[in-house]
Every structure is written in C-alpha cells, then in structure tokens.
Amino acid sequence: MPVDFPGSGVDALSVLMPEARHSFSLHEAWSSWFVVHTRSRHEDKVVDLLREKRIPVFLPKMQVWSRRRDRRLKVQVPLFRGYLFVNLPEPEFRWSNLLQTRGVVRVLGAGGKPVSLVQREVESILLMVASGADLHPLDALVRGDRVRVVDGPLAGVEGVVLRRKGKEQIAVSIDLLARSVAVDLNESQLERVGRPRQRNAHS
C-alpha cells in the first residue's frame, strides 16, 4: 500500500508523481533521494520534463500573497527556490539522463559526486506539505554572508552579501582585480559558502 500521512488523506506517490498509482511503499519503490539545483524560475518546467522521463520528483511548495493587477491573490511558489528532490535507484541510474534535462544545473554533492539525503528528511518535508501548514524557509541570506553564484554568467564566482533589495534581489560584493564590484543577483542564483553566520537579537 502507498504510504499515507496520518490525517492528511494524501499518499506519497500522488504527491511525488500524480500519474503513479502502483502499490509500492515509499521505501520499496525507490532507493535514494538527491537534491537537484535548477535554473532560476525553471522548477515547474524541470518537474514536467523529469516526469516525462519517469523520474520520481518532488517539488515542495508554499503559499504566498502576490499582487495581480488590482487585487492580491495567494499563489503557490517553491518552498526552496531553485531546488527540487528526485528519488533514484543508484548506482544503476544513468546520471546523464537527469543532468541533460533542460533547466537542470547540477545535483548537489561533494567531491564531484552526488550525495544522497537521509530518507527521513524528505519524508518530513512531505508530511509538512501534506499537512497544509503555513510553511516558510528560514535562514535567508543576510548582510555579511559569503556566497557563491551557482547560475548565470557569473556561476562559480564568490562574493559577500552587501544588502537585500526587495524579497528576491540581493546586492553582492565581488572582488575583481583588487577592486570590489557590486552586482545585483536573484537569491535563487546564490548559495551560502560555509555555515550561516550567527544571528543575534540586534542584527
């Protein structure tokens, strides 16, 4: 039987892959979870393309208020901008089948190799999404955080966050030729380098 979330009425397979209706458990159907980094605002398109390839994919979303012309509406946006989860039968899986998908930047890992997540971490996110709770990510980038650009023409360049400019735009200081140059980037184009800075009550 599919894995049911207590009280939610939603099974894991319908969340991950609506067209899948097989009698597998979440543990038996697939083996390892991985995090896929996508191009900015390409999350939904990548989900569609991966489903066409029959790759189980999970894109957790949250509801936010958005102004559309003369009214405000609640819309669904990715919980982790620029990231989604896939479940793959390593080591048999052909990584090129995933990495050559339009909109995919890379699979998170270490030493040039993809690193899988702990199963329970993804199951916890599934539970939260299915619960209908008001979700929002924490630890947004703040002034002084060291970051690396992961998307666009500056991919691979590192810098320091100067300030936030609205909800998504961030000004980043990048050292070039012994000078600091400020550039505005979308938060989904950045990843923090190292551990988050210690927050305090006065920051």
* Tens of pLDDT, residues 46-55: 999 999 999 9
In 82-120, which positions are buried (b, 16+ CB within 10 angstroms) versus exposed (e)? bbbbbbbeeeebeeeebeebebbbebbeeeeebebeeee
- Cα angle 83, 149, 199 (rounded to 5 degrees) comes to 80
Which of 73-77, 78-82, 139-143 shows the lowest per-residue confidence on average (mean pLDDT)? 139-143
- CATH class, domain 146-192, is mainly beta
pLDDT at 1: 29
Per CATH, the homologous superfamily of domain 12-131 is NusG, N-terminal domain (3.30.70.940)
Amino acid at 47: V
| Per-residue pLDDT tens over the stretch 133-144 | 667 665 567 788
Rounded Cα gap, residues 170 and 184, in angstroms: 6
pLDDT classification of 147: cutoffs 50, 70, 90: confident
Q: Is the pLDDT of residue 29 over 60?
A: no
CA atoms within 13 A on the CB side of 67: 2
DSSP code for 21: -
pLDDT at 47: 96
pLDDT at 124: 79
**Cβ pair 188, 81 in contact under 8 A:** yes
| Per-residue pLDDT tens over the stretch 56-70 | 899 988 877 776 777
pLDDT at 139: 59
User: Considering only CA atoms, which of 184, 181, 149, 179 is closest in space to residue 163?
Assistant: 184
Q: Where are the domains of the chain?
A: 12-131, 146-192
Most confident of 30-44, 107-121, 176-190: 30-44
Rounded Cα gap, residues 15 and 117, in angstroms: 18
CA atoms within 13 A on the CB side of 179: 4
pTM of the predicted model, to two decimals? 0.58
**Cβ pair 23, 11 in contact under 8 A:** no
Whether 12-131 and 146-192 share one fold: the answer is: no
Mean pLDDT, all residues of the chain: 73
User: Considering only CA atoms, which of 103, 23, 7 is closest in space to residue 57?
Assistant: 103
